[in-house]
Amino acid sequence: MQDMVKVAVDAMGGDNAPFEIVKGAVEAVNSRKDIKVFLVGKEASIREEIRKYTFDAGQIEIIPAKEVISTEEPPVMAIRGKKESSIVIGMNLVKNKAADAFVSAGSSGAILVGGQLIVGRIKGVERPPLAPLIPTKNGVSLLVDCGANVDARPSHLLQFAKMGSIYMENVVGIKKPRVAIVNIGAEEEKGNLLVKETFPLLKNCQDINFIGSIEAREIPNGGADVIVCEAFVGNVILKLYEGLGSTLIGKIKEGMMSSLRSKIGALLVKPALKATLKTFDASQYGGAPLLGLNGLVVKTHGNAKANEIKNSIIQCVTFKEQQINEKIRQNIILKDE
Amino acid sequence: MQDMVKVAVDAMGGDNAPFEIVKGAVEAVNSRKDIKVFLVGKEASIREEIRKYTFDAGQIEIIPAKEVISTEEPPVMAIRGKKESSIVIGMNLVKNKAADAFVSAGSSGAILVGGQLIVGRIKGVERPPLAPLIPTKNGVSLLVDCGANVDARPSHLLQFAKMGSIYMENVVGIKKPRVAIVNIGAEEEKGNLLVKETFPLLKNCQDINFIGSIEAREIPNGGADVIVCEAFVGNVILKLYEGLGSTLIGKIKEGMMSSLRSKIGALLVKPALKATLKTFDASQYGGAPLLGLNGLVVKTHGNAKANEIKNSIIQCVTFKEQQINEKIRQNIILKDE
């Protein structure tokens, strides 16, 4: 039991809770023996779902939580006020070292606030960024920051670059990941004030493989492994990725259904197309970690299904095995203090 | 001749100059009798291209310009130093009222700087934004600002919203266009400092149909007609649109070529797919106007082909007929002074 990675999972978070969450947790423990999941939430609802499945009873434990934080609630007030919520109880498990990680599809705001207030930052980390993997032409890139901190400063972005590099190298397995800053032109003198001030910090940092600016056009092309930007821009990139992808695919399906000829063609291309588009499906890569906390917090999509929950739980194993937080701690403290 | 719309076209700008530019100009005058084009650039090169075509000689005139501003040159220095360049000469035609509009696929920076320094702003306009139309699920939206001014202030964004509304209503023909501000959440309290300060200005403005925040996810879905944001964010949205579109379409083509079965299917779906994807092709809608200048300046894509040049020239006719600048002048001066 000692070597197990213990993951607290918010059974009440997201659009498909508790059904898909419980299903994903079961799939995770059935795929790996070294995972223990704490399902946090309303006991009766979880029990009703969980009895549908077969699994090693030692690998899943229910932790009752009476309250649920909804996405409409102001985050700070919700975290402070709802001590019995699945998010607060799950995060306290991480804080008290009863769990290594917390996975939730619930309120982004509450998860970001709870991460800072309950789990706490690694000493020296100024702001913990939300860092999702986004699909590219031939792989994935890490987008950091993506919603945790608006109006960031250059020193924050430098830390995002360092933490992002450690994550990509150790969790995703990209050696010397290429780091770039999102900009509106490739030249060094371009950009807004924040980018202009951050650029030299990144350029002079010895710990990262900085390749300069990246224009948004090159992101889907895989132009960099770690894409640094402030949260507002990162959030726009992430959401537009999702929106444009689904609109385009919808258009294509519509086009294929427009005539008998194309309908027959659609039947023939369907399997190949499905496989191709699967590589562009963000849920394949699990949720987004909040980097720089004293423990791991992973935010999945609000509409996450079992597969994304399962992948997010499994992702926690690599995060622990690779000692990401120890590496961040060493990198940030040794270099900056 | 009095009723003709006179458009100066930069024959030397963009990746495909002068070939595609001249071709686009010829197609424009051949499609409408009320357009006169001044092709500005190196006379010998233009003559060599233009003799390939048949057109009414009264509709195209060559204006010699010895110099060319490249995309690598620092914009302010280029505009000030290269008085004989196609951009400076073309813009002077607009300034001196010899032309109603100037269309260029050349250096964005030089076009933006030249627009302000040579053509000049309408009195009361603080900053002239670049406002491209972007394709959405069922139509187009205007993205304003998209690269002209980084680090904008709330009062600038309010003017962008007003000018964008006038453009969408009168050029694109959308009655009471829905105006939204790009934000990272739908709630009023969300956003960075700029958005929070701009939101009440938009909300209290009687001249526009403000519908609140728009998340980037909803942009491709056609969630608003006029999408207001500062230039850095707008540029990221525009470039990501282009990059993600072409990456996804490339992936789909690759998927379709992966087996014999899917290759046959691809042949059958091709015509329907082509028609569908055409509606998502930004070049259909011509270039992006710089709003709020004493004359019209249109920036097309650097890789614009004849069709985009042609559409951009034709767009100038509607702009003039609808007296957009008079409407902007009235709206900005009467309301703000």
CA A320 to chain centre: 15
Which residues in chain B touch residue A268, judged by CB atoms under 8 angstroms apart?
A: 261-262, 264-266, 268
Number of Cβ within 10 Å of residue A120's Cβ equals 17
CATH match for A1-125+292-322 among 3.50.50.60, 3.30.420.130, 3.40.718.10, 3.30.1300.30: 3.40.718.10
Give yes or no for a contact between A36 and A55, defined as CB atoms under 8 angstroms apart: no
* Pairwise CB contact (< 8 Å): B243 & A192: no
- Between the ranges A134-148, A242-256, B79-93, where is the mean pLDDT highest? B79-93
Nearest-CA residue of chain B relative to A262? B269
The predicted structure's pLDDT at residue A56? 96
For A140-176, write each residue's pLDDT tens digit.
Answer: 999 999 876 778 999 999 999 999 999 999 988 999 9
Chain A nearest CA to B70, separation (Å): 14
CATH fold of the domain at A127-282: Isopropylmalate Dehydrogenase (3.40.718)
| Residue numbers in A near B275 (CB within 8 A) | 255, 258
Interface with chain A: mutation pick from B108, B217, B303, highest number of A CBs within 10 Å: B217
Residue A187 binned pLDDT confidence (cut-offs 50, 70, 90): low
Sheet with A5-10: list strands edge to edge: A60-64, A35-41, A5-10, A101-104, A296-299, A288-290
Bridge partners of B142, per DSSP, are B133, B226
| B289 Rama sector, left if φ>0, alpha if ψ -120 to 50, beta otherwise | beta
Structural element, H or E, at residue B306: helix B306-321
Q: pLDDT tens for residues B144-184?
A: 998 767 789 999 999 999 999 999 999 889 999 999 999 98
**A254 contacts on B by Cβ (under 8 Å):** 276
Residue of A nearest to B222 (CA): A247
Short-list A102, A108, A101, CA closest to A11: A102
Was domain B126-285 assigned CATH 3.40.718.10? yes
Kindly report the nearest CA distance between residue A284 and chain B, in angstroms: 17
Decide yes or no: CATH 3.40.605.10 for domain B1-123+292-321.
Answer: no
Q: For chain A, what percent of residues have pLDDT higher than 90?
A: 73
The residue among B240, B264, B277 with the most chain A CBs within 10 A of its CB, best to mutate, is: B240
From chain A, the residues in CB contact with B236 under 8 A are 182, 184, 216, 233, 236-237
Strands of chain A, DSSP E:
5-10, 35-41, 60-64, 101-104, 133-135, 140-144, 178-182, 209-214, 226-228, 288-290, 296-299
pLDDT for position B337: 44
| Cα-to-chain-centroid distance, residue A269 | 32
Radius of gyration of chain A (CA): 20
User: What does the pLDDT read at residue A1?
Assistant: 47
Helix, coil or strand: residue A290: strand
CB–CB contact A220 B244 (8 Å): yes
Which pLDDT belongs to residue A272? 81
Which residues lie below 8 Å from residue A176, measured CB to CB, with a gap of 6+?
A169, A209
Q: Do domains B1-123+292-321 and B126-285 have the same CATH topology?
A: yes
Give the side-chain half-sphere CA count within 13 A for A267: 5
Provide the residue ranges of all domains of chain B, joining segments of one domain with +. 1-123+292-321, 126-285
Q: Is B58 exposed, middle or buried (0-12, 13-18, 19+ CB in 10 A)?
A: exposed
Using pLDDT thresholds of 50, 70 and 90, give the confidence band for residue B280.
confident
Tell me which range, A92-101, B267-276, B317-326, is most confidently predicted by mean pLDDT.
A92-101
